């Protein structure tokens, strides 16, 4: 069981996984923390630089700064296509996926974007062994946001997430992102969803879930038609906590209500709570 496995330290690497001088423990102390600010500190040091020396590190740093400054997915695609593959190290790959997920728009039909994503997927496969749970979930989430369905690639991400040393690094955002992404594509992987459910029900994870994480997780399981009474009971209890109730918006109320109804899960107290919120 993944809960019995110790989490291991993850090395944030340079090209081909060469360390750039920073280690971070797989269980991030702040489940809602963003990736980019934490990764930025890596480029403030040349310790453990790749064999290319300071010049190569400088080019990687410049690419990172470029990625962070982009405001449209078209610009991001152009930067990816023009990049030296060796500069797309783990930091820049995860940053690019993060930016793609945030800049994605509906009905994308850009050949440049698809070519840019193809480059990014190839580098992701090369660096897959260095991705922790949160970043793997972020890749899946970006793919779903972009509506670029690639079942073989998503299956590789699923296999990565299911590893004992990786599943234990999924935080609340990673749980919501990964389950939502696979549900959005209609990719039903019972083993993956069972492991995600087990991780979600752990106290330190469940207690950190915000309304969006609760609603997205419930929505994903219901969309895939995966019955998990214990998980739904835990999600209901979390949704009724005062700090969650006060932050419930209309979309979260609708998603949670729909998910419980879809799965035929009767929870009168939860429905009363959601009804009161909806009437405010």
Domain C-terminal end among 188, 218, 241: 188
Mean pLDDT of the chain: 83
pLDDT attached to residue 106: 57
In a domain, 274, yes or no: yes
Task: Pull the structure tokens for residue 101.
Answer: 């997920």
Using an 8 Å Cβ cutoff, are 174 and 182 in contact?
Answer: no
- Report which secondary-structure segment, H or E, holds 42: none
Domain C-terminal end among 155, 188, 221: 188
- Residue 180 shares a structural domain with residue 231: no
In a domain, 247, yes or no: yes
pLDDT attached to residue 46: 33
pLDDT band at 27 (very low <50, low <70, confident <90, very high): very low
Q: Report how many domains make up the chain.
A: 2
Task: Pull the structure tokens for residue 113.
Answer: 């974007």
pLDDT attached to residue 39: 42
- Residue 131 shares a structural domain with residue 243: no
The residues pairing with 25 across neighbouring beta strands, listed in sequence order, are: 9
- Residue 76 shares a structural domain with residue 109: yes
pLDDT attached to residue 111: 73
Residues 98, 41: Cα–Cα separation, whole Å: 17
Quote the pTM value.
0.79
In a domain, 193, yes or no: no
- Residue 146 shares a structural domain with residue 241: no
Task: Pull the structure tokens for residue 85.
Answer: 């593959």
Phi first, then psi: give them for residue 207, nearest 5 degrees: -70, -15
In a domain, 262, yes or no: yes
pLDDT attached to residue 25: 33
- Tens digit of each residue's pLDDT (9 = 90 or more) over 162-206: 999 999 999 999 999 999 999 999 999 999 999 999 999 999 999
- Tens digit of each residue's pLDDT (9 = 90 or more) over 70-101: 888 888 888 999 998 889 999 999 999 999 88
- Residue 12 shares a structural domain with residue 124: yes
Alpha carbon distances (Å) from 209 to 4, 19, 182, 197, 198:
22, 32, 19, 13, 14
- Residue 229 shares a structural domain with residue 102: no
- Residue 26 shares a structural domain with residue 137: yes
In a domain, 278, yes or no: yes
pLDDT attached to residue 174: 96
Containing structural domain, residue 235: 209-280
- Residue 129 shares a structural domain with residue 262: no
- Tens digit of each residue's pLDDT (9 = 90 or more) over 222-269: 999 999 999 999 999 999 999 999 999 999 999 999 999 999 999 999
pLDDT attached to residue 204: 95
What DSSP string describes 167-184? HTT--HHHHHHHHHHHHH
pLDDT attached to residue 109: 56
pLDDT attached to residue 12: 35
pLDDT attached to residue 49: 40
Q: Which of 150, 92, 80 is nearest to 116 (CA)?
A: 80
- Residue 72 shares a structural domain with residue 155: yes
- Residue 128 shares a structural domain with residue 6: yes
In a domain, 199, yes or no: no
């Amino acid at each position: 069981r993944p809960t019995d496995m110790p989490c291991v330290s993850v090395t944030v690497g340079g090209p081909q996984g060469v360390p750039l001088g920073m280690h971070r423990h797989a269980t991030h102390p702040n489940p809602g923390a963003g990736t980019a600010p934490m990764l930025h500190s890596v480029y403030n040091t040349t310790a453990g630089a790749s064999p290319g020396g300071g010049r190569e590190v400088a080019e990687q740093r410049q690419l990172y700064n470029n990625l962070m400054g982009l405001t449209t997915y078209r610009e991001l695609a152009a930067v990816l296509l023009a990049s030296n593959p060796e500069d797309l190290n783990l930091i820049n790959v995860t940053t690019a996926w993060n930016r793609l997920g945030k800049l994605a728009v509906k009905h994308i039909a850009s050949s440049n974007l698809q070519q840019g994503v193809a480059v990014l997927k190839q580098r992701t496969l090369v660096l897959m062994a260095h991705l922790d749970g949160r970043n793997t979930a972020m890749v899946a989430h970006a793919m779903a946001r972009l509506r670029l369905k690639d079942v073989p690639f998503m299956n590789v991400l699923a296999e990565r997430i299911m590893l004992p040393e990786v599943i234990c690094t999924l935080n609340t955002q990673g749980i919501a992102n990964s389950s939502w992404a696979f549900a959005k594509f209609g990719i039903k992987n019972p083993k993956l969803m069972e492991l995600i459910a087990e991780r979600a029900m752990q106290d330190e994870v469940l207690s950190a879930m915000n309304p969006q994480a609760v609603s997205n997780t419930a929505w994903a399981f219901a969309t895939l038609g995966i019955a998990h009474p214990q998980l739904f009971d835990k999600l209901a209890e979390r949704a009724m906590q005062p700090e969650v109730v006060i932050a419930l918006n209309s979309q979260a109320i609708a998603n949670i209500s729909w998910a419980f109804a879809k799965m035929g899960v009767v929870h009168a107290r939860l429905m009363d709570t959601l009804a009161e919120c909806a009437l405010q």
